[in-house]
Amino acid sequence: AQSVTQLDSHVSVSEGTPVLLRCNYSSSYSPSLFWYVQHPNKGLQLLLKYTSAATLVKGINGFEAEFKKSETSFHLTKPSAHMSDAAEYFCVVSPFGNEKLTFGTGTRLTIIP
């Protein structure tokens, strides 16, 4: 069985400060992990993915995530928040690296001017 837990339903940061969105996963296999972003009234877009290569994964718009097997975590970070980062972020796990994905419940990121 596989599952994903996003530890915060809502995160607020000031513009220019670091962003940390936390995700823990559970998987019986060596999983693939993803972060997707959803801007208001839009579909989801892939931010980055981990597929058992480098444990530090760089994505679009300055985001990155680190796969830590010992902690079963895949936290998303960005050094400096921008107003355009305000959106909902989903951590996603796939046990076989294919399209059978399990989504977390999402973290809404608010940026304070």
Partner 1 sequence: NAGVTQTPKFQVLKTGQSMTLQCAQDMNHEYMSWYRQDPGMGLRLIHYSVGAGITDQGEVPNGYNVSRSTTEDFPLRLLSAAPSQTSVYFCASSSYGGTGELFFGEGSRLTVL
The least distance separating partner 1 from the CB of residue 19, rounded to whole angstroms, comes to 20
Q: What share of the chain is helix, strand, coil (3-state, %, to 5)?
A: 5, 55, 40
The DSSP letter of residue 11 is: E
Pick between residue 22 and residue 49 the one whose CB is nearest to partner 1: 49
- The sign of the torsion formed by the CA atoms of 83, 56, 45, 110 equals negative
Pick between residue 29 and residue 80 the one whose CB is nearest to partner 1: 29
Count of other CB atoms within 10 angstroms of residue 109: 21
SS3 81: coil
Tokens of 81: 């928040």
The least distance separating partner 1 from the CB of residue 111, rounded to whole angstroms, comes to 21
Pick between residue 62 and residue 97 the one whose CB is nearest to partner 1: 97
The least distance separating partner 1 from the CB of residue 35, rounded to whole angstroms, comes to 12
Question: Which residues of the chain form contacts with partner 1 (CB under 8 A)?
Answer: 9, 32, 34, 36, 41-46, 49, 51, 90, 94, 97-101, 103-106
